[in-house]
Chain A
Amino acid sequence: MKKKYCVLCIVYCVLFLTQYSILNTQYYAYAQSLSSTELINNAKLYDGKILTYEGEVIGDIMARGDYAWLNVNDGQNAIGIWADKNLTKDISYTGTYKSKGDLVEITGVFHRACLEHGGDLDIHAQAIRKLRQGRGVIERLNTSKRNLIFVLLGVLCLVWILKILKLK
């Protein structure tokens, strides 16, 4: 009888803990991609949830051991993504003045104030999917600006000559 009672207790505890962990391991997933403004403004609502977020990878991919930080900008804000280094291997372009970064979709756990990373608002990526390859931006000489420079140079020379004449 006592043995049976103990087994029942263990089963109950296991069930309880499993349920607790299910509730606490954020299994509420948001299939639709969320914007950074939505996440920042409703951070408490999405805290600990699995969600998808998409945007352009900007700046540097900062390797930290087996992991890496990348920052993804959806056009409103940029959010830090903490990802396994292997997940970032496919990223070939990051957004700078001279390049348009890869457009990626991040699936991961959102943290309003990540305890692992000093309270940063971030996403711990579980999967990264490249939606569109980035590209280098070819800079073409802006001829209107060039022409304006020559006009202003002429005016500047004139003013300079007048200044010298006045001083003499």
Chain B
Amino acid sequence: MILKPRLEDIKIIGYYLGKIMVALGFTMLVPIAIGLAFGEINPVLDFIIGTEIALIFGLILIKLCFTEKELSWMQGMIVVSLSWIAAMLLGAIPLYLSGHWKSYLDACFDAMSGFATTGLVLVQDLDHLSYTHNLWRHLIMFIGGQGIVIVALSFFVRGFSGAFKMYVGEARDERVMPNVIHTARFIWLVSIVYLILGTLALGVVAMLNGIKPANAFFHGACIFMAAFDTGGFAPQSQNVLYYHSFLFEIITVIIMILGALNFKLHYHLWVGNRREIFKNIETKTLFITILITFCITAFGLAQIGSYPKALVLFRKGFYQLISGHTGTGFMTIYSRQFINEWNQFSLVGVICAMALGGAVCSTTGAIKMLRVGIIVKALKQDLKRIILPERAIVVQKFHHIKEVFIEDKQARSALLITLAYLVLYGLGAIIGMLFGHPFLDSLFESTSAAANVGLSCGITTVDMPVTLKLTYILQMWAGRLEFMSVFTLIGFFIAAIKGKK
């Protein structure tokens, strides 16, 4: 029997949602400071309006729903899923006010794309966008990459027992440290240290490439945030192609790979356990899948002869592939070149890479390496069971920080999430086909949205139908949260309608 949610449930959800909205309002102070530094008047006004609206709604919710009760699992999950929608709606306000987005829906699309670290864009005339708005586009990826709730947990919540429930709801089921608040703060520490190093490296290279110093470091910071959080936005409309620099591409590849690694692995590397990187199932799987998908892509590109020189083929093929595999979405080719100049075989390689993603507890989306590794190991275990004598005891283990024996529960959970992702990719592709796009193009764009990648073959344009825009927004949202919180929210609404008192 389904029970109707009580008023108390709604109050608790509203209270924590309000807190997260207030936290989001305060994050808009960063672009305001940048806008003031660059002397951009109207963009600063856009963000003051955004901050005020976020604070008004946040404070109203806190006031109306004030409670001292702790979150339950169900409530925590719902807070997370609603937080991401609220973040999209609030984060889109300053974007829309800039006049660079044709409609509020387009601004919401880009806001969700940013928060979910996807990188698909509907922005118009990006090359004339202010520093203030550009910083916000990249900052929302940085916030979304760590997790919106983690931002609130780290800076605005002193600590409460419901923290872990919201942390899990944001698709992070691994704690780096025993305390979830400390874990959230460690994730921020790693990100900030890399932000400084990455910005310096990219800024210096940009300067050497002929970009003026202030602009070079601004681009460095933006590109770092987009690369480490596997987002894929860039300050200019040509994306990474704008820089025309091999060295710049190499550094972004390194940052993208760092972003695709598990924060737990980062922690072990930081404390000196460097051997973990060679033993860990996720890094091993990532290496193998990159190798396989690159072979497919390179074979396809060689077949069609798009890039006559091996080095050129490697530079273009590998860059788009690694960008897709890590879920970043940086591009050094134009969207339509995927369709016009890459054959179906090479596209399949990129689609597979996008569908697989990076490590769990990283900033990437998609199925993720731990699940792929577990599924392969479980398959091996089953094959051994068939081959070996019935009396033989078959055990299969993998190394992920420590040695872990595979249990059926783990394998089932990995398979279920994988299946959910495959269904999500497929549904998006079907909807794309309903609007007249060919199968492979639709699958490419759908996988890119659902796996939070951001590579585009040209379907994502400002003129695409509203239904398709909404489909991709939902895919980005569900894909980033890895379904659990989304399913809980759906269940909550069903209970509200059909449940008994």
Contact = CB atoms under 8 A, between A and B. Distances in A.
A149 B212 CA distance: 34
A73 interface: yes
28 contacts: A40-B336, A40-B340, A41-B336, A43-B337, A44-B341, A58-B128, A59-B236, A62-B210, A71-B236, A71-B242, A73-B127, A77-B334, A80-B241, A95-B127, A95-B128, A98-B40, A115-B308, A115-B309, A118-B315, A119-B316, A120-B241, A139-B42, A148-B49, A149-B48, A152-B56, A156-B55, A156-B56, A159-B60
Contact of B244 (A80, A97, A98, A162): A80
B45 A145 contact: yes
Nearest to A112: B341
B8 interface: no
Contacts of B66: 166-167
Interface string B184-217: 0000000000000000000000000111100100
A82 B59 CA distance: 54
Interface in A61-86: 61-64, 68-69, 71, 73, 77-78, 80, 82
A5 to B, nearest CB: 38
B244 A78 contact: no
A148 B52 CA distance: 10
Contacts of A146: 45
Contact of A113 (B45, B62, B306): B306
Interface string B49-63: 100110110011011
A97 B62 CA distance: 38
A8 interface: no
A10 interface: no
A166 B63 contact: yes
Interface in B119-151: 127-131
A77 B236 CA distance: 11
A163 B313 CA distance: 61
A160 B104 CA distance: 28
Q: Which of B52, B55, B307, B316 is packed against the most chain A CB atoms within 10 Å?
A: B52
Nearest to A36: B334
B278 interface: no
B246 interface: yes
Given A62-B209, A73-B237, A159-B60, A141 B41 contact: yes
B337 A119 contact: no
A62 B55 CA distance: 42
Interface of A: 40-41, 43-44, 58-64, 68-69, 71, 73, 77-78, 80, 82, 95-98, 112-113, 115, 117-122, 139, 141-142, 145-146, 148-149, 152-153, 155-156, 159-160, 162-163, 166-167
Contacts of B332: 119-120
B333 interface: yes
Contact of B307 (A43, A117, A119, A153): A119
Interface in B22-50: 40-43, 45-46, 48-49
Interface of B: 40-43, 45-46, 48-49, 52-53, 55-56, 59-60, 62-63, 66, 97, 127-131, 209-212, 215, 236-238, 241-244, 246, 306-309, 311-313, 315-316, 332-334, 336-337, 340-341
A50 to B, nearest CB: 21
Contacts of A153: 52
Contact of B312 (A80, A113, A139): A113
Given A71-B238, A82-B244, 12 more contacts: A59-B127, A59-B236, A62-B209, A69-B244, A73-B127, A80-B241, A97-B130, A118-B315, A119-B316, A139-B42, A145-B46, A152-B56
Given A78-B127, A159-B59, A166-B66, A63 B210 contact: yes
Nearest to B235: A59
A44 B339 CA distance: 13
A77 B334 CA distance: 9
Contact of B131 (A73, A82, A97): A97
Contacts of A44: 340-341
